[in-house]
Structures are given as structure tokens and as C-alpha cells.
Amino acid sequence: MSRPFAARFALVAALVLPFGCATVPGNAPPGAVPTAPLLTQFRLGGRLAADDGEHRFATAFAWSHTPSRAELSLFSPTGQTLALLTLEDGNATLATAEGKRQEADAATLLAPLLGFSPPPLSALTAWVQGDPGPSPDRIERDEAGRLYRVWHSGWIVTFDSWRDDRPRRLTIERGAARLVLLLDTWNPEP
């Protein structure tokens, strides 16, 4: 994998993850397992893999989220910070080895890097918590009544595995774009 491509995907991953906001849980059909209440603040860690159909990138991450600030760190295999993304007061700031960039709108930073429209940013915080997010197009549940798949604005989110009442592994796809999140640690304190 070329270094510019790896940096591009690190930046893309940094921009995709943290820009969710708290949402009201989706309506569950009768017999469905209710999702845990959405947290407005949390800290989680894990691994992610991004694939655009031609190139792949994987990294470890740490995500801290509060109602007023979100921060995402991406790490190299040796534990070095590749990128630090902060969202605060309506501004997104990305710090990498190449310097800092700031924008008022996260999509402004993300769209040129992805080459396609990003996943619904307001839904990501809900998805990592096992909630269908705001206004899903369609919901499919597993035999236990937990979310299995959610369709939202052309994106398909598959809840591949669960640990207790939170997702353990998520696959978020649209066309050739694919992001896999493996959530290793959860803490309700940022």
C-alpha cells in the first residue's frame, strides 16, 4: 500500500467516526430486544478497516465523545498516533504529521478524500451503540430481536456480532466503499 493512500484512509477514518450526535432510539417492533439507552458521552477503542474496492487500510483507534467535543485518535501498528481529529464548537480540526487543518463543516474535509458522499454522520454515534439511528429506511433484526441490518440513505449497516447489549463488530457499506469496525472497549466516561 502506498504511503499517500494509507495517509488518505487514516484521514478518512478519522473524519468518519466521530461526527455523530445523540439521537432518540428507533421504534422497535413488538418482541424486539430494546437497545440500551444512547450515551451522550463515552470512550471506546478498537480497530477499523477501510476498503474502497481497490485499496485496503487498517488501524487501531480511540474515540472520546461528549455532547460538546469528539476526539478520535488513529494509531500505527507500533502505537504511534497517525491522526488526531477533534470536533468542538462546530469546527473540525485534523492534526497529522503534515500539519493541522480546520473546517467549519466536517463534510468539507471528508468529501474530497473519500470521492463519495460520507455515511450519515449523525447516525454513526447511534450505530456504534447498537441503535438504528435517526430515520432508517429499513431495519432487519436477528432471531434474538437485536439489530442485524439497517439501511440508511443508501448505506447498509450490518451488526455482525454483539457483546452484551453493545455491538462488537459493524460493517458499514455502500457500493465498493466498506468500513469495518471492531469495538474492543467501552466506557461511559469520556
Q: Which residues pair with 172 in a beta bridge?
A: 157, 179
Mean pLDDT of all residues in 120-138: 86
CATH number at residue 102: 2.50.20.10
Is the pLDDT score of 6 beyond 80?
no
Mean pLDDT of all residues in 83-93: 85
For residue range 153-190, list pLDDT tens digits in order: 899 999 999 998 899 999 999 998 888 999 999 998 86
- Count: domains in the chain: 1
Q: What is the pLDDT of residue 24?
A: 34
For residue range 24-63, list pLDDT tens digits in order: 334 444 445 555 678 889 999 999 888 878 777 788 999 9
Supply the pTM of this predicted model: 0.78
Is the pLDDT score of 146 beyond 50?
yes
Q: Which of 22, 97, 14 is nearest to 59 (CA)?
A: 14
d(CA 128, CA 59) in angstroms, rounded, equals 17
For residue range 64-79, list pLDDT tens digits in order: 999 899 898 889 889 9
Q: What is the pLDDT of residue 164?
A: 85
Question: Is residue 108 within 8 Å of residue 114, measured between CB atoms?
Answer: no
d(CA 169, CA 118) in angstroms, rounded, equals 20
d(CA 80, CA 103) in angstroms, rounded, equals 25
Domain that holds residue 78: 3-187
- For residues 149 and 21, which has the higher predicted lDDT (pLDDT)? 149
d(CA 77, CA 168) in angstroms, rounded, equals 21
Percent of the chain with pLDDT over 90: 37
**Which of the four pLDDT bands, split at 50, 70 and 90, describes residue 89?**
confident
